[in-house]
Chains A and B, each alone.
Chain A
Amino acid sequence: MNFRRLFLILTPYTWLLVFFLVPFAIVFKIALSDYAISIPPYTPQLDLSAGWEGVKSFFGELDFENFTFLASDALYYSAYLSSLKIAAIATLITLLVGYPVAYGMAQSSDEWRPTLMMLVILPFWTSFLIRVYAWIGILSNEGFLNQALMGIGLIDSPLTILNTNIAVYVGIVYTYLPFMVLPIYSALEKLDGSLIEAAEDLGCSRAQAFWLVTIPLSKPGIIAGCFLVFIPALGEFVIPSLLGGSSTLMIGKVLFEEFFSNRDWPVASAVAVVLLLILIIPIILFQRNEQKQREAGL
């Protein structure tokens, strides 16, 4: 009985330890190492054959040099700041686009809701890469958007949208919209319609009832949706590298290039560690929001 339980727990536990926790320990360790022209390209290497002396000299050579480097080089801290800015603005736009959609879904009739729900989920199952790619053809100089705008005579010469931050915003809003719509919808769906009627009965106009009742009661959904967009958008790599330009600074892209182009593993690891530290705050806040909702649900 106890042996079986142990086996049951240990199988997934060991897997996660080996393939998830240990890799992070390695990232931390390499972040404290120095770049070297060798294979693998960092120093010190742990030399176990040298016994205790090897371990001691190994730890002696670890330092926070890479982190001071990140703080002193404008490229990195402006990349972090710009990632935070882009993720925050994109989250806000996604909320403004997503809320009316979720609200419309919640107001629609019972027969329609499953279909609408499926229409929101369907893009989620379609390749992320393809959905981002679809916008290249739309936003490019000779793309459909410019063709359409020139066709109706709104502009004379094509607008440059692709390879700018605007394209990155469009890409994030587009790909993460379902993550915003679904939690807001599930909060709105639970909302008791008689609350709105009660508010109107007590003298609210429809707009006031919406502002004073609907919005506050859908707040958990709004918070959950915002985190679900903000957290992955912060570390996004595909969207800035396909839609963004050379001036678009996002930390995911910097990390990728640091690793593959510059082959500077220690700096790439340090970039990852700092990104992780930045993410911990919103992740903890998100978890707390979820926890609160779960408790309220019981």
Chain B
Amino acid sequence: MNRKFTWFNATSLTLGFVFLYLPMIILVIFSFNSSKLVTVWAGFSTKWYGELLQNDAFLNAAWVTLKVAVLSSTLATILGTLAAYVMVRAGRFRGRTLFSGMIYAPLVMPEVITGLAMLLLFIAIGLDRGVTTIVLAHTTFTMCYVSVVVSSRLVTFDQSLEEAALDLGCTPFDAFKSVTLPIIAPAVISGWLLAFTLSLDDLVIASFAAGPSSTTLPMKIFSSVRLGVSPEINALSTLMISIVTVGVITASLISKRSIAKQRADEQAAVRT
């Protein structure tokens, strides 16, 4: 295919990526600023990182967030995978339309509405707000993302693999465990990662679902950011950005290598 890469393309890519990345780069640089004034450079320092680690409120919030994210993303992965399996494989059943509606709706629902609805439910059933309610709320909205990721893999999954497993003596559960699950595992893992990130990141739904004793990191950041820019928040942001960057780059390198290896194997197979 003939594609001409022009100066126009180069300019728009450069400008686009500068726009996407410059704000974050500035943020990272100024987290090492020794001055309390966040927009005036006054020399290199890591003191804000030190102060951040002394700040119990932030550390507690980080701990709550992590707990919520691990619990909710794990639950969401189990439920989301089940939901995807039902959507793709269970065929017709009563209420299927409602089911698929309920899976796709949270993806486009404004967070303020989801959060409000969740909170009103928790109050109606008299559930005390805290880590449990945040986990329940996060599980519900992230399981839908998991199910979208997993079902897009299941759709391309050759169903005769499952039939072959049954044919060779597997019970349906055994077939799922020893054939389907290992093959869709990458999608399930990326579903988990997506759910985990969404949960870490969520402010609005957590604000509704959280009780007074359970503040998550985004809630903490939000309340301090409303008062203006602070170097501590810059430091915290830098830490979060680096963790995500390292994670995403590692994951993409691993998948790139495995794709390259598979391709090489396939070429080798053709030659033998």
Contacts and interface: CB of A to CB of B under 8 A. Distances in A.
B24 A131 contact: yes
A143 B23 CA distance: 12
Given A122-B245, A252-B110, A129 B221 contact: yes
A134 B25 CA distance: 9
A237 B204 contact: yes
A125 B108 contact: no
A192 B116 contact: no
Given A119-B20, A136-B225, A193-B3, A126 B244 contact: yes
Interface in A1-37: 1, 4-5, 8-9, 11-13, 15-17, 19-24, 26-27, 30
Question: What class of interface size applies to chain B in its complex with A?
Answer: 35 or more
B185 interface: no
Contacts of B162: none
A177 B17 CA distance: 11
A197 B105 CA distance: 42
Contact of B39 (A17, A30, A142): A142
Interface string B228-272: 110001000100110011011100100010000000000000000
A2 to B, nearest CB: 11
Tell me which of A8, A127, A193, A259 has the highest count of chain B C-beta atoms within 10 A of its own C-beta.
A127
A59 interface: no
Interface string B1-29: 11111101110110011011101101100
B203 to A, nearest CB: 6
Contacts of A130: 24, 27, 221, 237, 240-241
A235 B172 contact: no
Nearest to A106: B3
Interface of B: 1-6, 8-10, 12-13, 16-17, 19-21, 23-24, 26-27, 30, 38-39, 79-80, 82-83, 85-86, 90, 93, 95, 98-99, 102-106, 108-113, 116-118, 120-121, 123-124, 136-137, 139-140, 143, 147, 172-173, 197, 200-201, 203-204, 207-208, 218, 221-222, 225-226, 228-229, 233, 237, 240-241, 244-245, 247-249, 252, 256
26 contacts: A12-B82, A12-B147, A15-B139, A27-B113, A98-B16, A101-B12, A116-B13, A122-B244, A125-B197, A126-B241, A127-B244, A129-B218, A130-B24, A133-B27, A133-B221, A136-B228, A137-B38, A142-B39, A174-B23, A232-B108, A242-B222, A255-B116, A272-B116, A275-B113, A279-B109, A286-B108
Kindly list the 5 A-B residue pairs having the minimum CB-CB distance in the complex, ordered from nearest: A235-B110, A100-B12, A23-B117, A101-B16, A193-B1
